[in-house]
Structures are given as C-alpha cells and as structure tokens.
C-alpha cells in the first residue's frame, strides 16, 4: 500500500511527489515500540531485584533489632540457643506481617507445604516434585509462569527466601534443590 504525498516546488521544478510506504512506517513504529517495551521489561527486572534485596535488608534489620532486644533483656546473663531461635522466628514473622504478606516460617521437623504461605507453597512443591535441582527459570517453566526476566528474578527471590528458612537448599551452580523441609 502506498500513499502519495505531493506538494508544489519552487523554481524550475514545479511538481514534487514523495511516495512513502505505509508498511514501512508501521514497521518502523513497531520496531520502536518493541524496543521501548523490552527496555521497560529490563528496567522492571532490575527493580524487582533491587526490591528483593531491600526486603532482605529490611528483614535482617528487624531480626537484628529483635536479637539485640533479647540480649539486652537478658542483661548479659546468657541465654539458650532455643530462646535465640524463638526470637529470630518472631522477628521474621513481624517483618512479613508489616508488609501485608505471609512470612515464611523457619523449617522444623514435621512441617510440610501446608505450613508455607500460599505464594511460596507452589514454588516449594515444584522444586520438590522435580526430582533434581532446578534453576529459577526452570522452576518458572514448571509452574507454567512467564519466563521474562522480571518474573524469574521475583521467583529467584522467593527461592532464596525458602533457602534462608531451611525449606530448600541452593547449590554452588545456582540451582535449587529440596532442603530440610522436603
């Protein structure tokens, strides 16, 4: 499809016609929009990673505060390891509750997938059912999720949270495998 655009010239050329392909214009527009979308997806992935790091840092700060409060409450008289674990578990629960999301409990003998918040349950189950270690992208595929960078990075945060609480383990290769909670 062609559109003729014409105008009057000045001087010895009296008539000038410029023909532009509509398909070419649409192709150029589509390429520009695709580039913009891809750039936004990349930025979203980076923001998801940064958010996960900030949430982890916040959680560590809450745990540190709870640990310090417990030590100060003891007055330096000493405390048992069990009390320290209880304080850390309570601090982790408080950190998750403030954000309006379920916190991942520390894995203990006798716990199963039903003890996990809903958004972590399917992630944990996918790794357990896999029969071998999976990378974050493979877990996303097993769950039937989109494999975009932002989705995989958000999933990686959940996997690392499950590692930090003993439900999964992370191998040196970066793959995730069943841990104590499996």
> Between the CA of residue 171 and those of 131, 136, 145, 163, 179, what are the distances in Å?
15, 12, 23, 10, 11
Averaged pLDDT for residues 13-17: 43
Give the tens place of pLDDT for each residue, 53-102: 788 788 888 788 877 877 777 665 544 444 444 444 444 444 444 333 46
Is 86:69 a contact under the CB 8 Å cutoff?
no
Q: Give the confidence band of 43 by pLDDT, cuts at 50, 70, 90.
A: confident
% of the chain with per-residue pLDDT over 70: 71
Q: What is the pLDDT of residue 102?
A: 61
Tell me the C-alpha distance between 182 and 174, whole Å. 18
pLDDT > 70? residue 161: yes
Contact assessment for residue 48 and residue 154, using Cβ atoms and an 8 Å cutoff: yes
Arithmetic mean of pLDDT, 126-151: 91
Statement: the pTM of the whole predicted model exceeds 0.85: no
Tell me the per-residue pLDDT of 93-135, one tens digit each, with 9 for 90 and over. 444 443 334 688 888 888 888 888 888 999 999 999 998 899 9
CA distances (Å), origin 10, targets 14, 15, 17, 119: 6, 9, 13, 70
Distance CA 19, CA 16 (A): 10
Rounded CA-CA distance 178/128 in Å is 5
Give me the domains of the chain, ranges plus CATH numbers.
104-182 (1.10.10.10)
CA distance 101 to 118: 10
Taking residues 143-172, what's their average pLDDT? Answer: 90
Beta strands in the chain (DSSP E): 2-8, 15-21, 168-170, 176-178
Q: Identify which of 160, 147, 127, 124 has the alpha carbon closest to the alpha carbon of residue 52.
A: 160
Residue 135's H or E segment, with its range, is none
């Amino acid at each position: 499809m062609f559109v003729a655009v014409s105008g009057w010239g000045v001087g010895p050329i009296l008539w000038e016609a410029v023909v532009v392909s509509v398909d070419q214009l649409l192709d150029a527009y589509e390429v520009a929009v695709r580039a913009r979308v891809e750039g936004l997806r990349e930025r979203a992935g980076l923001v998801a990673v940064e958010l996960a790091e900030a949430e982890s840092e916040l959680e560590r700060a809450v745990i540190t505060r709870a640990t310090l409060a417990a030590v100060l409450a003891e007055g330096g008289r000493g405390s048992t390891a069990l009390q320290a674990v209880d304080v850390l578990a309570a601090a982790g629960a408080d950190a998750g509750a403030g954000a309006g999301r379920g916190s991942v409990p520390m894995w203990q003998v006798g716990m199963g997938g039903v003890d996990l918040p809903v958004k972590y349950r399917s992630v944990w189950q996918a790794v357990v059912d896999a029969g071998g270690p999976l990378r974050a992208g493979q877990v996303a595929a097993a769950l039937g999720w989109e494999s975009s960078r932002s989705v995989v990075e958000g999933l990686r945060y959940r996997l690392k949270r499950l590692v930090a609480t003993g439900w999964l383990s992370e191998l040196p290769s970066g793959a995730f495998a069943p841990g104590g909670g499996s």
